[in-house]
Structure 1
Amino acid sequence: MSFETLGLDPALLRAAADRGYAAPTAIQREAIPPILQGRDLLGAARTGSGKTAAFALPLLQRLVQQPQAPRVLRALVLVPTRELAAQVGEAMRGLAQHLPVRPKIAVAFGGVSINPQMMALRGGADVMVATPGRLLDLVDRRALRLSAVSMLVLDEADRLFDLGFADELGRILALLPARRQNLLFSATFPQAIQSLAEAQLHDPVRVESTEEKTAEPAILQRAIEVDAAKRTQLLRQLIEKSGWARVLVFVATKHAAETVADKLRRAGVEAEAFHGLLSQGKRTQVLADFKASRIKAVIATDLAARGIDVIQLPVVVNYDLPRSAVDYVHRIGRTGRAGQSGLAVSFVSAATEAHFSLIEKRQGLTVPRERVAGFEPAEAAPPPGAGTGGIKGKRPSKKDKLRAAAAAASR
């Protein structure tokens, strides 16, 4: 199937070709036609599936086909992170470049001064891509109104709840017109997302791509047994001896990100930390340097599990294992994107073996354990009953219950 068969405007087809979209992905094939028809949509979309174009292309076409007063906000895209907001905004501007009347696409997120974003909204905007908190800041300052929004996109909805945006979402939904098209994309569907979908979506088309699932084996997964104290040394050796040009390394805390990055730099490896305490300018610079291969290793907290899109990222390393099995999928999904092959390496110590075993069980995986010469583990396993090393279980936590209640309250 080609993009031409989906009923898209020639100007959008030209822009898609410019961006290297040779053929639609599964999520694009399934989502674009019902969105063009004005239907609500609930999409199961993993990272790297092409979902941004799946909603951006039909959204832009509907704006062109239903012209109204210029610079009246009609489409709102809510995303969980600054990086994803910038990425989606850039993609939408690129796809709109050949339209006869190009919509004004504004992007807003926290962590930077609000004044330039308010200045950019002078004269209005047709599309807003924003994180929830900064959007409400702009509304409170009367920089924009949501009363004319006819299309709402919740991108990575599960992550919006994971990052504690339930209250902000409730406030935003209350400001929107009751009659609108709703598009909800999520990689996972916990109870909070299901409650939100039931409350906000009207007779939605449900889309679940199977193509991306078959592409998962393109990510080679390895688990290396190593004592916790030797992980940085092992990471350095793997980078140097394996010839990794770029590697995204996940750690549990901001302090660990800074510590590991500093040790790698002192060992001669170009590395930078990436976490929420960095200024937006610094985060933008780190990503730019990483994409340009000026940095070999980025040491990140789970802030980067979604929202970072690095073309042909070859390797992801779980220096610290993720707290949940779902986060494991999001982390390794940073590599092996869009049909490319990738490598995901997890460091497993005696203390985290039960943790990783549970991740395997939850994801239906079996990853053989490996040992690297010179780094054979010497630590003993914890006593029976010591737990799984902190992995998040299936039973809802108190925070999960509060998020679900907030979603239900928005009905």
Structure 2
Amino acid sequence: MSFLETGLDPRILRALAKQGFGQPTAVQAATIPAALEGKDIVARARTGSGKTLAYLLPALQRIVTGKSSRQPWQVLVLVPTRELCDQVASEAKAVAQHCGVPIAVTPLLGSTPVAQRAAVAAAGALVVATPARIATAMREAWLQPSVLSSSLQVLVLDEADLLLSYGYAEDLQTLAVHIPRSAQSMLMSATSSTEVEQLQQLILHNPVTLNLLAAGGAAAAAGAAGNGDAAGDDRRLVVLSLLKLGLLRKKVLIFAGSVDEGLGLRLFLESFGLRLGCLHAELPVNSRSHILASFNKGLFDFLIAVADVGRRKRKRKQPEKQKKQKQQKARKDEEFGVTRGIDFKGVRSIINFDIPDSVQGYVHRVGRTGRAGQSGLALTLFTAQDEDGSEDEGEGGGRASKRKAAQDGLRPYSRLGKPSLEALRYRAEDVSRTITKGAVREARARELQRELLNSEKLADYFQEHEAERALLKHDKPMHRKAGNAPHLRHVPSYLKDPAAVAAAQAAAAAAAVVAAAQRRPKQKGPKSKRPRRADPLKAAGDAAAAAPTGGTANAAPAAAPAAPAVVVCLCGHPRRAVQQQTKT
């Protein structure tokens, strides 16, 4: 099926052609025709399956074919996080600019009341926001309910299963009473849950349900990985070995469970000369957006992303005062999220530095790779502490049952052997001793000070000098002693496990062969048999041109195909290995 067969307007088709989109995905082929008929839709599809375009294209067509594309608030897209808000708006702008009619796309991203009020006042035909921003605008009278009642034609709830779990229930109820019954509503989700059913009853009217969870996506089936048990610092050792020995395909996205855990891992890896960024909720919004953009552009290949607020809580006994402090510390930015919906471009490998709190959480972490038909690697680490299933609450009876469920469907990963770990252990332990809580706190304060300066004082300047924004770097070493041990940056050959080196070389050679086979030879037209006339005035030039230059042409290196997808654990018990390969 082609986009032409979906019934889209020629102007939308032209915009898709200019953007390089060929065939629609399964979710797009099923959703677009139903949406163009004006039906309410509930669509469930895996991450990376193209849900964003599935609702954006019909929404843009409603604007293009309407009375006026300049009328504000015709389409409202609600998303759970600021990062996803920025991404959806960027994708909508990319298509809208080629439609031949002026379509303004407005993301409500202002970090101050003044900026938020200005964004609401200048809203375009398509608005992307979190429910909290819309509820605040209505509560502060920046947005009159009559505007929505008279103008809104399409309402989209993206990542619907998160909208309620992120605490937006009250905001959605405030908004629901002002949605005109004539408006079309679309609800998109990657999982099925009671939250989705609650939203469906609250917003939609006789919807068409499209269940496409089995039709492609980022979380597919089999693979191979290695497994073991480790103390806390051994997880760092494993990550170091994987990255330093080149066992993982770049780019690599590492999920950590807390800010301290993520920054500690960054300090550790920087000591060995690895350049990487860290994305977490404490950073200003502008800095987070720029870090994500820098990673997507390939300015650095490794990114640590701290998992979303609202992750698991352990049942260990703690003083009441300590519990309150941790709860307050967790409230950093309730609209921050990196495991859901965000399109990290070109990610080939995922490392879960800790175990996700649920199957859905795992699916969405792994879904950051293996997108748009590519394959990827997902690798999960766990320690001896994770053996106790009573530590954690939630679905599935704790971590032990989750791990057993994972082991039942996964195969071992054998490329990282014990010799590779032991060869780097003494170096890793020396560096780990310097990564104390005090060092992490100090680095954390320096990072926030630097990013706040970049975000606030220079925001206006970079609006006028966009080209100089590239001078901002988010992968600078955080540790003051990172440059004092240059010998750590180099891994001598005697420390490398020959088996691991041979495996990496074999994989690279196989990847080069596959890439070469996939390259199409250039089509050349038939040579003319008509002889050229001799030109005496060019005889000398022809003779000089015919003379050998002695130069050689270097073939461009072939791009290696994506690595297999994996999940790993480190227990010292090879039979317990776990891995998953993700491939759409």
Partners of 2:220 and 2:122 lie apart in 1 by: 48
Which one-letter code corresponds to 1:373 in the other structure? K
Inter-partner Cα distance in structure 2 for 1:226 and 1:89: 43
Q: Distance in 2 between matches of 1:360 and 1:95?
A: 45
Give the TM-score normalised by structure 1: 0.85
2:237 aligns to what? 233
**Paired residue for 1:94?**
94
Q: Which residue of the other structure, out of 412, 418, 435, is the alignment partner of 1:373?
A: 418
1:229 Cα deviation after fit: 2.0
Q: 1:363 to 1:23 in 2, by over 3 A?
A: farther
Secondary structure in structure 2 of the residue aligned to 1:300: strand
Counterpart in 1 of 2:172?
Answer: 169
Gaps of 5+ in 2: 308-336, 390-398, 423-569, 574-584
In the alignment, is residue 337 of structure 1 matched against residue 381 of structure 2? no
- Structure 1 match to 2:62: 62
Partner of 2:278: 273
Structure exhibiting the larger radius of gyration computed from Cα positions: 2
How far apart, in 1, do the equivalents of 2:217 and 2:134 lie?
A: 37
Partner residue of 1:256?
261
| Pairwise CA distance, 1:48 | 0.6
Q: Per-residue deviation at 1:221?
A: 5.8
Q: What amino acid sits opposite 1:366 in the alignment? A: L
Q: CA deviation at 1:317?
A: 0.5
Map of 1:286 onto structure 2: 291
Provide the residue aligned with 1:136 in structure 2: 135
Q: How far did 1:280 drift?
A: 0.8
TM-superposed CA distance for 1:94, in Å, is 1.3
In the alignment, which residue of structure 1 is the partner of 2:46? 46
**Counterparts in 2 of 1:210 and 1:379: CA distance versus 1, 3 Å:** closer
- 1:262 aligned partner, one-letter code: L
Residue 139 to residue 335, structure 1, CA distance change in 2 (3 Å): same
- For residues 400 and 74 of structure 2, what CA distance do their matches in structure 1 show? 45
Mapped partners of 1:216, 1:282: distance in 2: 30
My pick for the range that moved more, 117-126 or 331-340, is 117-126
Give the drift of 1:211.
Answer: 6.0
Report the CA distance shift for 1:356/1:313 in structure 2 as closer, same or farther (over 3 A).
Answer: farther
For 1:166 and 1:324, locate their aligned partners in 2 and report how far apart those are by CA, in whole Å. 21
Matched, 1:222 2:221: no
Are 2:138 and 1:126 aligned?
Answer: no
1:16 aligns with 2:19: no
Residue-by-residue CA offset, 1:228-272 (whole Å, 9 max, x unaligned): 321112101101212543211111112211111122122211122
In structure 2, the residue corresponding to 1:66 is in which secondary structure? coil
Separation of aligned partners in 2, 1:22 and 1:76: 27
What residue number does 1:196 align with? 199
| d(CA) in 2 for partners of 1:144, 1:202 | 25
Deviation at 1:41, TM superposition (A): 0.1
CA RMSD for the aligned pairs? 2.5
SS at match of 2:225: strand
Q: Report the CA distance shift for 1:118/1:178 in structure 2 as closer, same or farther (over 3 A).
A: same
Cα offset, 1:288, TM superposition: 1.8
Q: 1:387-410 CA deviation, whole Å, 9 max, x = no partner?
A: xxxxxxxxxxxxxxxxxxxxxxxx
- Counterpart CA distance in 2 for 1:340 and 1:378 is 30
Please tell me whether the aligned partners of residues 343 and 368 of structure 2 are also in contact (alpha carbons under 8 angstroms): yes
Residue 319 (structure 1) aligns with:
353
> The residue matched to 1:308 in structure 2 has which SS?
coil
Secondary structure in structure 1 of the residue aligned to 2:295:
helix
Residue 350, structure 1, aligned to residue 384, structure 2: yes
In 1, Cα distance between the equivalents of 2:164 and 2:192? 11
Please give the alpha-carbon distance, in whole angstroms, between the structure 2 residues aligned to 1:356 and 1:53. 38
- Per the alignment, do residues 58 and 250 of structure 1 end up closer, same or farther by CA in structure 2, a change over 3 Å counting? same
Alpha-carbon distance in structure 2 between the residues aligned to 1:69 and 1:157: 27
Deviation at 1:68, TM superposition (A): 4.8
Number of residue-to-residue matches in the alignment: 379
Cα deviation, 1:360-403, whole Å, max 9, x if unaligned, reads 627973343656314486789xxxxxxxxxxxxxxxxxxxxxxx
Deviation at 1:291, TM superposition (A): 1.3
Q: 1:218 touches 1:341 (CA, 8 Å); kept in 2?
A: no
Q: Contact (CA 8 Å) 2:42, 2:207: kept in 1 or not?
A: yes
Letter in 1 for 2:211: E
Cα distance between partner residues in 2 of 1:364 and 1:177: 49
Quick check: 357-366 or 25-34, which moved more? Answer: 357-366
Whether 1:34 aligns to 2:34 is yes
Are residue 158 (structure 1) and residue 161 (structure 2) matched? yes
Q: Deviations over 1:213-233 (max 9, x none)?
A: 476448846353241321112
Q: 1:187 to 1:215 in 2, by over 3 A?
A: closer
Structure 1: which amino acid aligns with 2:142? A
Percent identical among aligned pairs is 35
AA partner of residue 316 (structure 1): I
Higher mean C-alpha deviation, range 262-271 or range 60-69: 60-69
Gapped runs of 5+ residues in structure 1? Answer: 381-411
Q: Which has the higher strand share?
A: 1
The residue type equivalent to 2:364 in the other structure is: H
Aligned to 2:188: 185
